[in-house]
Amino acid sequence: MIELLWPALLAGSGIALVAGPLGSLMVWRRMAYFGDTMAHSGLLGVTLAVVLNLNLTAGIALVTTALALLLFTLQRQRRLPADTLLGIMSHGSLAIGMLVLAFSPTVRMDLSGLLFGDLLAVNGSDVVVVWVIVALALPVIGFAWRPLLAATVNEDLARAEGIATDWLRVLYLVLIALVIAVAMKIVGILLITALMIIPAAAARWLARTPEQMAIGASVLGLIAVWFGLAASWFANAPSGPTIVVAAVVAFMLTLGLSRLPRQN
Amino acid sequence: MSQPSSRLIEGRQLGVRLGGKTIISGVDIRIDAGQIVTLIGPNGAGKSTLIKALLGVHKITDGEFYAKPNLSVGYMPQRVPIDDSLPLAVHRLMTLTHRARRDEVLAALALTEVAHLIDRPVQQLSGGEFQRVMLARALLKQPDLLVLDEPVQGVDFSGEVALYKLIQRLRDERGYAVLMVSHDLHLVMAATDEVLCLNGHLCCSGTPESITQEPTFTSLFGPHQADALAFYSHHHDHEHDLAHQGGHSHD
């Protein structure tokens, strides 16, 4: 019986590893709502992929990336603030996704599994896809880390010092889109950003350098995924919420740990 | 020694449009080695835009632009708000894009008298300390040209005087050329070789003494400011006294 847990555990671990540095950048850049909006549009990606008979992961990654690029174009105008635009896109794409799902007779999918994750939906080929993406994304993040950090601190300064910030931004968005695409089955569309934000925030309490925070977020994310999936398995609960609750517990624990009096 | 005739950057009739809107147009600017050029003008005059265009942050949409080959520029932006969520020590901030050994970083920080802050989280710095760290950061790669966008922002008055004196000293001792934006007309005037007065276009330019005589300058800043500037630029010894006092009251 327990072998049914392995695909979710392996896939979840890969996602947590990548989500650590990407989530830290998301926190530093104050892009949590942005990530949420991208994730919500994932539902539209799922339905489009099914209707057009595309690969599911590719469908989600395409739609989320397209949405992110559209957002950047729209942000050039000044009449509406960025968070209003995000709200329109986030809820709009979620609603359209739900409607397409409801009116497509060919699509028979478990909605609650899409929204909140279903560990039993993860199969062997998903694990392969996750780890291929992890194997691509981690070196890319490592290679681009210093410029990404410089652009996060101050974009003008980074540009003046010769960093191609526009390309970095696109790269970052594509990476997030990929994580969203592969994480959807396990944590669900509504909770994907939680897996990026909460471990990073938890690591912040203890970190003294950006790298400590990024790696700490990966480690805490791994722990949250393992405990969450175990809890989901034994309590027969949806896996997304159990993972998020485990991450929140980790957040509280690191907060408590950082408040302990230091012995010098 | 710096060679006064060696041209670092020069722009003729420069214009910048952002999002279809013309921010600046028809700007002539030239900076030679070892020269201090100060950019003044009201809010929204395009001072920061001009600086960013010269640095390649914004695209120059009109005019001709020359930069000396391999020109090394140290830039200090107007505001660098760093999110509290980013654990970043001064040392890391200094070496974000330019790799340097710890002793090199310490030497740069020592130039602006903040070497003791090297391991401090950036969020714990005061306004004046942060500006000094950013100035040291701009100095780290031994630039030919320092570009400082309102370097004394968030610094108290005595700190301002000290910081301007420091910038002037760096030029005198190390021959850096300096392009800076400033609001503090009367403080900066005594320390600058040339003033460019910007208000979308170039209103007037020249030495601090000559510029206060320009009618366009008077109309932009009012006769009161112009008088104040004339006073300071013609009474250098008095300005030094002021700076001296300021330096003491600070420490």
Q: Which residue has the tokens 């592969």?
A: A182
Chain A residue nearest residue B149, CA to CA: A157
DSSP state of A29: T
* B152 and B37 both lie in a single domain: yes
DSSP state of B42: -
Out of A158, A201, A204, closest to residue B97 by CB: A158
Out of B57, B80, B87, closest to residue A209 by CB: B87
Distance from C-alpha of A56 to C-alpha of A68, rounded to nearest angstrom: 18
Spell B19-54 as b/e; 16+ CB within 10 A means b. eeeebbbebebbbbbbbbbbbbbeeebbbbbbbbbb
Domain that holds residue B138: 82-142
- Helix B236-250 and helix B215-233, axial crossing angle in degrees, nearest 10: 70
Domains of chain A: 2-190 (1.10.3470.10)
Distance from C-alpha of B83 to C-alpha of A198, rounded to nearest angstrom: 17
Task: Work out how many domains chain B is built from and give that number.
Answer: 2
B89: distance to nearest CA of chain A, Å? 7
Nearest to B132 by CA among B170, B96, B100: B170
Residue B250 included in any domain: no
Distance from C-alpha of B214 to C-alpha of B211, rounded to nearest angstrom: 5
Summarised one tens digit per residue, pLDDT across range A118-175 is 888 888 888 999 999 999 999 999 999 999 999 999 999 999 999 999 899 889 988 9
Summarised one tens digit per residue, pLDDT across range B87-109 is 999 999 999 999 999 999 999 99
Query: Chain-centre distance of CA A91, in angstroms?
Result: 18
Contact status of A159 with chain B (Cβ, < 8 Å): yes
CB contact under 8 A, B92 and A156: no
B224: distance to nearest CA of chain A, Å? 36
Sorted by sequence, the CB contacts under 8 Å of residue B54 that are 6+ apart come out as: B9, B11, B29, B65, B147, B179
* B177 and B113 both lie in a single domain: no
* B36 and B53 both lie in a single domain: yes
User: Rounded mean pLDDT of A89-108?
Assistant: 83
Mean pLDDT across chain B, nearest whole number? 83
Summarised one tens digit per residue, pLDDT across range A200-255 is 999 999 999 999 999 999 999 999 999 999 999 899 888 899 999 999 999 999 99
DSSP state of B78: S
Residue B215 included in any domain: yes
Residue B214 included in any domain: yes
Distance from C-alpha of B14 to C-alpha of B60, rounded to nearest angstrom: 7
Q: What's the burial of B81, exposed, middle or buried (CB within 10 Å: 0-12/13-18/19+)? A: exposed
Residue B209 included in any domain: yes
* B118 and B161 both lie in a single domain: no
User: Rounded mean pLDDT of B193-207?
Assistant: 85
* B41 and B152 both lie in a single domain: yes
